[in-house]
Amino acid sequence: MKRSAATTAALLLIALCAAWVEWTSVEQVDLEGKVVLLQGEADDISEVRWVSEDTEVTISRKDDAFGGFYWVDYTRWTKKKLPAARDVGDTGEGSDEPEIERVATHSAFKAAQKADALMASLSPMAAQRSLVVTDEAKIEEIGLKEVTTTIEVERSGRTQKLLVGGEAYGTRDYYVQHEESGKIYLVDRDLIQPLKYARTRLPDRSLFALAIPDVLSASVSVADKSAQFLQVHPDDPSLSAWASAATPDVPGEQATTWMGKFLKLKGTRYADPAAPPEGLVPRFEVSLVSKEGSTTVAISQVGEDGDWYAQSEHTRGLIKLVRSGAVALSGDVDGLLGADG
């Protein structure tokens, strides 16, 4: 006897409903005995958003010709007092109370590998335990009555929202409520802090991804002048040095000193892509080569006495440099290229 299409559809709907009830009612437990709050794979996350009264953070997965990476858009809100216009009422008395204006400060930056760890911690996202809280006074006590902080995780086209409450006494872990199911959990603070303090914890301040011992050679160039250098004994810090490619058996003190300073150079903060610095003047470039590939770091300066910036395939955007380090390298680069090694 053949089933009708309507009967088959009804049975399928019942099965789906049963699966949904099972998923929402039975809490899964991970290998460490914690309760699974969010399911899913890290690679399926396209965006994570943090919104609080003071900060807003959006971590987006990006892809370009050099591979995948995470980009962070960060906004910090501050309060600014404005003088209020005197409002004279029926009594003839005015108010001198200042008005409060919220001022937004925006920044953007490429995230370091800590972003990968963050996405992994959300995949699955585990809570210390789930809580049964029905008393309104208790809900208010744990900070989930009037919530001002939220986390949104967009994964495989679906967005799940978490409401972040207060901190637990003693452990300072966070009370978190899954908006869709209404369930309340106690979540390890280490899962929340990278989002709360994204501006200081997530930026990638490195200029390249290569490990220093893996760098085989470097090409340094200024305008139409260039020179190549080889790293000697890269695996032994006590013997590691740099030599001119023309005399590879003779390590050069000047090349070793200059390359040592360059390889330790770090960025401080990224330039806003929406308002990049104007008047950038190229100063020098360094192309690093390893067995795994190569990367070119371009160093530039705003005008003759302005800020210094670097950009590479690794940074994607412009990142500001510590002025003293950049000035010293730029001042010595002509002598480096004129040296024999």
Q: Is 139 helix (H, G, I), strand (E, B) or coil?
A: helix
pLDDT of 220: 98
Name the residue ranges covered by the structural domains of the chain.
Answer: 28-201, 212-338
pLDDT of 25: 41
pLDDT of 99: 77
pLDDT of 274: 86
pLDDT of 316: 95
pLDDT of 68: 95
pLDDT of 89: 53
Please state whether beta strands 35-38 and 125-127 pair in parallel, antiparallel, or not at all (unpaired): antiparallel
Residue 224 CB partners (closer than 8 Å, separation 6+)? none
pLDDT of 1: 43
Report yes or no: 227 and 219 within 8 Å, Cβ to Cβ: yes
pLDDT of 63: 95
pLDDT along the chain (341 residues), means of 10: 52 45 45 84 97 97 95 90 60 63 89 96 95 92 96 97 95 95 96 96 96 96 95 91 94 95 96 92 97 95 97 97 97 86 43
Report yes or no: 47 and 56 within 8 Å, Cβ to Cβ: no
pLDDT of 78: 87
